[in-house]
Chain A
Amino acid sequence: MLRFLLVRFTLIFITLAVVSLAIFGVTEVLPGDVAEAILGKSRTPGALETLREQMGLDRPAWQRYIEWIFGVLQGDLGDSLVQDRPVTEILGSRLQNSLVLAVTAFLISVPSAILVGVWAGVRQGSNADHTVSVISLVAISLPEFVTGFILIVVFSSTLGWLPSSSLVMPGSSPLDRPVILIMPIATMTAVLFGYVMRMTRANVIEALNTNYVRTAILKGLPRWQVIWRHAVPNAMLPTIAVISINVGWMLGGLIIVESVFAYPGLGLSLINAVNRRDLPMLQAISLLIAATYAISNLFADLAYAWLNPRIRISS
């Protein structure tokens, strides 16, 4: 187990190092630097040179990369070009807002998806199973902006029950007005629910066809016990892999959902940074998202190893 942990940690470290290089490379080494982005098209060569010197852009890229990385490690992500404030100061509340959204959606969709998946899986081929399967297929097929749009049309412009945008005043928390969270969370939940439910269902069906389940049935165990003690735990392993993969997907989904509802989270900041060519902001958010993804993958691997006796005991 210790060896397993060490290998995983090393891999994460390497991945993050490569990812940080890639992010820096894409946004820095390419022609057209921050100074050009700030001054825009109407620049004079003199002004460009001065600004480059001020910002240290005249030094080689590797030096700036090392400085950037050391800054990041000490919690200094640079200053935003647009807002002229430290990136960390701006992103702090944004990160919290995104976490509220993502964590709630996760906590709602994953347990319910597993329950419904088991429920549908043990009824394979029934009408209830078909209905659930079709609904989940539609849920994973709709892009988030379509799901969000449908919700807005129904609950906001037609029924008038919910606000169509989820603006949060600076300095306040989305939890002060939880009503604005309902539609963004519902949108995120839809797709996540679809994926996890479909995977659970497929794995339960597979587990029910195994010899150990047949043995359990034949030795006269009650049906619920066969399902919950023999089939479900074995069906959970691949499902956890799907959940961890979905965390990465969720981070992408956040970008869309936050722009649909104008919800001030990391995703919306990212879009703004892209549109305004705010490079330090762009680098910081990308790195944050990539790191979250890598760490959630680590947790999934740990959960997988912990649940899987073959890994837990042997290594």
Chain B
Amino acid sequence: MVTNNTYLLPIFVAILIVFINIIFSQKLKYDKRFANDMSNRLYALSFVKPFVWFINPDEESPKVKAEENLIKRAGLDHLMNYRVFMTFQSILFIIIIILYAIILLFADQIMAFLDFIFRIPPAGTGVTMETRIFIGVVLLSGILIPRKYLTRRAKKNDYFFTQELPVIQLSIILMLRAKRPMNEIMYTLGRNETRYRKIFEKANRIYLRDKVACWDYLRKEFKGTGFEDAIEVLENMDMYSRAETIRVLENGMEFLIQRSAEQKKKGAAFGNLFSQFSMAIPFIGVLFLGALPFAMYIFDMMNNGISF
């Protein structure tokens, strides 16, 4: 079933070029939102026709909020938001569709080319429908990859987010011992290169303007990590003795250390589990290099009816 579709190739190339041209030829008419130029472009594209269909314009809807939250947890909010992510996904989808169309129409030619490159005698049967459908399924599952990546990153970050909290509390205690004022503590925390730098940077700016809002902001950011107690203590530090505040913080730190150790044990258990499963990879090597060729040989012998 070798059909001659070669005349369609220039049309597909033209469609691809036009499509890429749409993306890269638009002028950005407003301020840059993100650090990355590509993200800015995607953000601009999210307002034009083909992509705007895929995007929920209501920013308050719970689904959009959940997406934004996922991006933030993954630590990529300086690179993208919901609109950018959805635009990226729809572009990926369109590219996959075009790619699949090309493969579907020119499968025989591609096969002939591969036969030529790898010097394999052509089978002459053409590409079966099953293979074409299989390729389609594999390509379409590529759409799931970006979201999978985000979720994995978010999970990893969630784990590490609680790991460095004892150290932060320790540095707060050390600074309090050195009789530093609260605004200086905030400033130092926002400047030190930790996982929480961005949070404290923002908190410091809020603190200069409105102290209550700053504590609320911190409480929201560290929700459910066990660090809220420390924030509570720091909030009404002025009312009590400094030495007692430090003692409360020190006791709280014990709890944080214990908690992070527990989590670490869980993580290490997972790592050990992974190291046991890692055997699968060399085993695949044994299978492919050793077992499969041997099996092929045996089957071949059986087919040819050679008796042992």
Task: Please say whether chains A and B are actual partners in one complex.
Answer: no
- List chain A positions with a Cβ less than 8 A from chain B: none
- List chain B positions with a Cβ less than 8 A from chain A: none
